[in-house]
Amino acid sequence: MYRKMVLIRRFEEMAGKQYMQASIGGFCHLYIGQEAVAVGIISALRPDDYVMGTYREHGQILAVGSDPKAIMAELFGRETGISRGKGGSMHLFDRERNFMGGDGIVGGGLPIATGVGLAIRYRGGDQVCVCFFGDGAVNEGAFHEALNMAALWKLPVIFVCENNLYGMGTQVTRASAVPDLNRRVSGYGMESAHVDGMDLLAIRALSDDVVAECRAGRGPWFIEAKTYRYRGHSMADPATYRTKDEVEEWRVRDPISIYEKQLLGAGLITDEEIRGISAEIDAVVDESVKFAEESPFPQADALYDHVYASGE
Amino acid sequence: MPILTYREALNQALREEMRADPDVFLIGEEVAEYQGAYKVSEGLLAEFGARRVIDTPISEEAIAGAGVGAAMAGLKPVVEMMTVNFSLLALDQIVNHAAKYYYMSGGQYNVPMVMRAPTGVGLQLGAQHSQNFESWFVHVPGLKVVLPATPADAKGLLKSAIRDPDPVIFLEHELIYLSKGEVPAEDYAVPLGVADVKREGADVTIITYSRMTLFALKAAERLAERGISAEVVDLRTLRPLDIDTVVESVRKTHRAVVCEEDWPMCGMAAEVIAQIQTEAFDDLDAPILRVSGVDVPMPYAKNLEKMAVPGEEDVYQACLRVTEGHRD
């Protein structure tokens, strides 16, 4: 888990750098600061469980174990990208790992996750579907419709609100009449929990319980993880709507530093091992950039590929 | 051949595909206990049970999304929207999700889902319940769009739509659910993307789809009495569009009238006309005419509604204009 969090942090720092150098285009939403949420929850899953991501999903797809090289190549828009260069930063997919995509529409993933939950139940399986979304999504109609439907049918879906306090530049208190999400969700007759999104072990412990509940047919569940993105909404956002002090307050509670201290305190890791992991991850990230840079752009005929699965 | 109604033919298609493939299921408002707002799903709950015939809350976006998610997880949902008017509440799932996943995942996730909906004008249902939106869906690459006119086509096309690996919008005209026609007794399917020449002729080609096909066939009868031989091409599938069959017919007749019940602005007829003039301009002996609904929200009053909805007479007069150069 430590390794995954460091990988996400370094990968995202590199993505930001590559964006500034114009190697990456379009919108690019970094996950820095939120690492513990994806890693804590996804590490509690089995490989046959499903994950529905958001447009801030680089961290989520790295957490399911997808190849950093293929992800970086996708950001670079190359043929070797995880979505063959057709998706970009917001649309990373990995069917082999049941990662059902980054979704560029706020709240758009919730009804789909409900459908995945329905399919799991239809087949009599005991998998779960984890659906990530942000605090901005809770005021979409899709949120209401999906939560009601999932709760009505008791589907094995875990709705995870990554509450980073801002929907783009709008603070939660300026957007939600009832900012306390657990209170809102209680109206759907759904179990819910609130967790510190900077505390990996707390998230993991809660996730173990919630996943077990959903596997046992006692879903759906709602998890609110209070977290913080250190960067702006996207690379195009200087984040002038919040103070430096606020950002600093959160940085003190950095999820990676907290977990690192816990590991050191428990004698589970040494400073030397930390340095080793750091060097190793830097090499992985550098290699992903090298791979992306050396990969070809998609062939011209790829323009027309994959419009229809029937091939027309 | 057995004679069935359009509704019975659709019901048979659903029943047969659900029997043949355990991954096929039906989901929508009032499809199970109520047996369908238009009774298309009559008897399906009794045969297949609540696991495969699923009543939903009135939540069109979540219904469509549930279909998308289930399809991505490998099932074959048939999603029923009570009418196409309500499908507008689900457009994000249809356009931004169902139509996009195969492409933007680089071919990893296809969405084998059918969205069925009654479409078109009713009888004094007013402005919000009398609409056609096929041109909206046809506009979107990634979707397929089907509008059958006859019971045989309804059954055969729905079977193909369910078996298809892509999202298919399947629109059933609500005023022809009780129309009757011969339906083959044996197992068959009608391929998507293939137009059908419903009547052969030499002087003018009428290109149309859905309920307007029935008006076109009646108009062709009357034109024949006058010595004008009209060919009727039923597009059946609007996307992918079988423009080859259309162009072949126009090259033969040198005249074309394109008919839709929908509004004219940026509609299906406009698209077909654009493609004909690109492919067969030199073959034309007259400007191509179109017959469309009147460009207003649908009025309630019976007399006004009658004026707004195109019918047999409009098709007939348009054909006279392109053949004899005048209307009666």
Measured between beta carbons, which residues in chain B are less than 8 angstroms from residue A152? 57
User: φ and ψ at A48, to 5 degrees?
Assistant: -90, 5
Cβ contact (<8 Å) for B97 and A105?
yes
**What DSSP character marks residue A140?**
S
Instruction: Look over chain B and give the mean of its residue pLDDT values, rounded to a whole number.
Output: 97
From chain B, which residues contact A within 8 Å (Cβ)?
25, 51, 54, 56-57, 59, 61-75, 77, 92-93, 96-97, 101-110, 112, 141-142, 144, 164-166, 193, 240
Give A242's pLDDT tier (boundaries 50, 70, 90): confident
Confidence check: pLDDT of B327 > 90: no
Confidence check: pLDDT of A194 > 70: yes
Cβ contact (<8 Å) for B72 and A82?
no
Q: How many residues does chain A have?
A: 312
Closest Cα in chain A to B142: A307
Give B229's pLDDT tier (boundaries 50, 70, 90): very high
As a whole number, mean pLDDT of residues A130-156 equals: 96
Q: How many CA atoms lie within 13 A of B15 on its CB side?
A: 15
Confidence check: pLDDT of B89 > 80: yes
Instruction: Round to whole Å and give the CA distance between A110 and A107.
Output: 6
Give A169's pLDDT tier (boundaries 50, 70, 90): confident
Q: Given the residues B16, B30, B129, B139, select the one marked as catalytic.
A: B129
Query: From the CA of B234, how many Å to the nearest CA of chain A?
Result: 20
As a whole number, mean pLDDT of residues A228-234 equals: 88
B123, B301 Cβ separation under 8 angstroms: no
Measured between beta carbons, which residues in chain A are less than 8 angstroms from residue B165? 308-310
Give the burial string for A15-40 (b: 16+ CB within 10 Å, else e): bbebbeeebbeebbbbbbbbbbbbbb
Confidence check: pLDDT of A230 > 80: yes
Strand order in the sheet with A129-134: A50-52, A129-134, A157-163, A221-226, A191-196
What number of other Cβ atoms are within 10 A of residue B122's Cβ?
16
The CA dihedral of B7, B8, B13, B18, to the nearest 10 degrees, is 110
Tens digits of residue pLDDT in B155-184: 999 999 999 999 999 999 999 999 999 999
Instruction: Round to whole Å and give the CA distance between B176 and B181.
Output: 11
Instruction: Round to whole Å and give the CA distance between A61 and A231.
Output: 19
pLDDT above 90 as % of chain B:
98
Query: From the CA of B121, how many Å to the nearest CA of chain A?
Result: 28
Query: From the CA of B71, how many Å to the nearest CA of chain A?
Result: 8
**Beta strand B76-80 with B168-173: parallel, antiparallel or unpaired?**
unpaired
Cβ contact (<8 Å) for A115 and B107?
no
Q: Given the residues B8, B29, B60, B261, select the one marked as catalytic.
A: B60
User: Hey, is A131 helix, strand or coil?
Assistant: strand
Query: From the CA of B321, how many Å to the nearest CA of chain A?
Result: 37
Tens digits of residue pLDDT in A87-126: 999 999 999 999 999 999 999 999 999 999 999 999 999 9
B92, B63 Cβ separation under 8 angstroms: no
Give B303's pLDDT tier (boundaries 50, 70, 90): very high
Confidence check: pLDDT of A15 > 80: yes
Cβ contact (<8 Å) for A115 and B103?
no
* B3-182 matches B196-324 in fold: yes
* Residue B60 appears among annotated catalytic residues: yes
Write out the two tokens for A94: 């990995």
pLDDT for res A55: 93
Cβ contact (<8 Å) for A309 and B74?
no
| Test the A interface: residue of B27, B59, B76 with most A CBs within 10 Å | B59
CATH class of the domain whose range is A2-17+25-290: alpha beta
As a whole number, mean pLDDT of residues A201-229 equals: 96
Write out the two tokens for A138: 């809770």
Tens digits of residue pLDDT in B95-131: 999 999 999 999 999 999 999 999 999 999 999 999 9
As a whole number, mean pLDDT of residues A174-180 equals: 88
* CATH number for the domain running over B196-324: 3.40.50.920
Strands (E), A2-156: 50-52, 129-134
Give A180's pLDDT tier (boundaries 50, 70, 90): confident
- List chain B domain ranges: 3-182, 196-324
Instruction: Round to whole Å and give the CA distance between A304 and A192.
Output: 44
Closest Cα in chain B to A305: B103
Cβ contact (<8 Å) for B72 and A85?
no
Confidence check: pLDDT of A200 > 70: yes
Confidence check: pLDDT of A239 > 90: no
As a whole number, mean pLDDT of residues A56-64 equals: 96
pLDDT for res A312: 60
Cis check: omega of the bond before B112, within 30 degrees of 0: no
* Residue B225 appears among annotated catalytic residues: no
Strands (E), chain A: 50-52, 129-134, 157-163, 166-167, 170-171, 191-196, 221-226
Query: From the CA of A292, how many Å to the nearest CA of chain B?
Result: 17
pLDDT for res B277: 96
- List chain A domain ranges: 2-17+25-290
3-class secondary structure for A23-53?
A: CCCCCCCCCCCCHHHHHHHHCCCCCCCEEEC
Instruction: Round to whole Å and give the CA distance between B57 and A150.
Output: 11
A100, A50 Cβ separation under 8 angstroms: yes
pLDDT for res A171: 87
Measured between beta carbons, which residues in chain B are less than 8 angstroms from residue A115? 65-73, 77
Give A173's pLDDT tier (boundaries 50, 70, 90): confident
pLDDT for res B306: 96
Q: Which of B254, B270, B251 shows the shortest CA–CA distance to B262?
A: B270
Closest Cα in chain B to A49: B73
Cβ contact (<8 Å) for A115 and B71?
yes
Tens digits of residue pLDDT in B36-68: 999 999 999 999 999 999 999 999 999 999 999
3-class secondary structure for B243-288?
A: HHHHHHHHHHHCCEEEECCCCCCCCHHHHHHHHHHHHHHHHCCCCC
**Helix orientation angle between A255-265 and A200-215, rounded to the nearest 10 degrees:** 90
B131, B298 Cβ separation under 8 angstroms: yes
Q: How many CA atoms lie within 13 A of A5 on its CB side?
A: 24
A164, A227 Cβ separation under 8 angstroms: yes
Measured between beta carbons, which residues in chain B are less than 8 angstroms from residue A57? none
As a whole number, mean pLDDT of residues A229-237 equals: 87
Confidence check: pLDDT of B260 > 70: yes
Confidence check: pLDDT of B328 > 90: no
pLDDT for res A193: 95
A203, A259 Cβ separation under 8 angstroms: no
pLDDT for res A100: 97
Give B79's pLDDT tier (boundaries 50, 70, 90): very high
Cβ contact (<8 Å) for B62 and A93?
no
pLDDT for res A238: 85
* CATH number for the domain running over B3-182: 3.40.50.970
Tens digits of residue pLDDT in B133-146: 999 999 999 999 99
Cβ contact (<8 Å) for A95 and B112?
no
Query: From the CA of A53, how many Å to the nearest CA of chain B?
Result: 13
Confidence check: pLDDT of B326 > 80: no
Instruction: Round to whole Å and give the CA distance between B247 and B241.
Output: 12
